[in-house]
Amino acid sequence: MKLIWLASTFLLVIGCGTAGATQSPSKTERTAPNAKATRVEVAKVTPSEPKLELTLPGEVEGQRDAQLGAPRGGYIESVHVKVGDQVRAGQLLVRVDSSTQTAVLDQAKVELYTASREYQRARALGDAIPSAEVDAAESRWQAAKASFGSQAVAVSRSVVTAPFAGVVVEVDAEVGEVAAAQPLVRVVQIDPAKVTVSVSDRDIVALREGQEARVTTDALTQGFTGKVKRIRKAADLSTRTFTAEVEVANPGRQLLPGMIASVSLSTELDGNGLVISQDWLVTRGDDVGVFVEQAGVAKWRTVTLGPLVRHQIVVMTGLAPGENLITTGHRDLADGDPLLITRKGSCCTLGRVVFD
């Protein structure tokens, strides 16, 4: 019996050890988890010209615009124009108290003549009269001469003339009225016309005086070609924008002051690189670059940058045509990261991607 009990116990121990061995996992069966790929969108880079294209709202104005009147005011003697008249430079528009001012000038002329004769007589007498009398005669002559000159200016300003060729757009004068020192006639030069536009600081650096501009309005079916005549060198402090003036030939006088216009400008920028969106750049310390996709992994490219083109930038070196630029998901990447490409496209027209 004792032998039978020992044999049973031995078989039980062996069975338990075998069962335990089948339940223990083998080290060779354990496997490391796969690395997680980053989801990205890529665009194949193609050459593009660095160009700035702007379409801005503008307002048509006269090339020159003058509010004209007589500075001393007075009786309105005659009005020689009406609204809509074409006038030439120097043409008479209004006479304001001209007869009175001319009469005063005649009187000043007589006084000047008299003072001049007295002074000449005093000088001719020489030492026969005191020098004080000679000095007094000279002072009267100088005063009469100054009075005559002042009155001559008053006469010239009592006659209102056109300072330039243009169109009369306002007349606020009637014969017989007594006018104060206020504008009586408004003359505007509308050929050529001027279109003013407000330009942001990021765009003004790309504009050049003399470059071509295209002007259109809702009121007219035809467009007009003009040139940037001047760019103001300081921004408006209230709007923080710069004003550019576009000069447009307007022989038919179809562009009228006050019209709202649309001005299209296109500027070729210096640089022969690739134009991409600034948003696709990645900054790492002092290094600026982009990520491109190669064989399913991310590759870092340090780039050299050229001019800004609004929200775009010219890449001079570091990125080659035909490479797959990563445009979405690039900020979470490191060099060599595996990629899962969700969309592919091509770029860049105005910094945009066209997806397949």
Tell me, yes or no, whether 230 and 264 share the same domain. Answer: yes
Measured distance CA(289)–CA(47) in Å, rounded: 18
Tell me, yes or no, whether 237 and 258 share the same domain. Answer: yes
Q: Are 162 and 35 in contact (CB under 8 A)?
A: no
Q: Are 353 and 328 in contact (CB under 8 A)?
A: no
Measured distance CA(212)–CA(266) in Å, rounded: 8
Tell me the β-bridge partners of 285.
none
Reduce the DSSP state of residue 230 to 3 states and report it: strand
Tell me, yes or no, whether 217 and 196 share the same domain. Answer: yes
Tell me, yes or no, whether 284 and 338 share the same domain. Answer: yes
What sign for the dihedral angle of Cα 38, 39, 45, 49? negative
The CATH number of whichever domain residue 287 belongs to comes to: 2.40.420.20
**Which residue range is the domain that position 248 belongs to?**
54-63+189-268
Which among 236, 100, 105 has a CA at the least distance from the CA of 178?
Answer: 100
Residue 69 belongs to some domain of the structure:
no
Tell me, yes or no, whether 290 and 339 share the same domain. Answer: yes
Q: Which pTM value belongs to this model?
A: 0.61
Tell me, yes or no, whether 258 and 282 share the same domain. Answer: no
Please give the tally of structural domains in the chain.
Answer: 3
Mean pLDDT by runs of 10 across the 356 residues of the chain is 42 42 44 68 82 84 92 92 93 93 93 92 83 88 93 92 93 90 91 92 82 91 92 89 93 90 81 79 90 94 83 85 92 91 82 71
Q: Are 319 and 43 in contact (CB under 8 A)?
A: no
The CATH number of whichever domain residue 134 belongs to comes to: 1.10.287
Element (H, E) at 15: helix 2-23
Tell me, yes or no, whether 277 and 349 share the same domain. Answer: yes
Tell me, yes or no, whether 207 and 58 share the same domain. Answer: yes
Element (H, E) at 143: helix 131-157
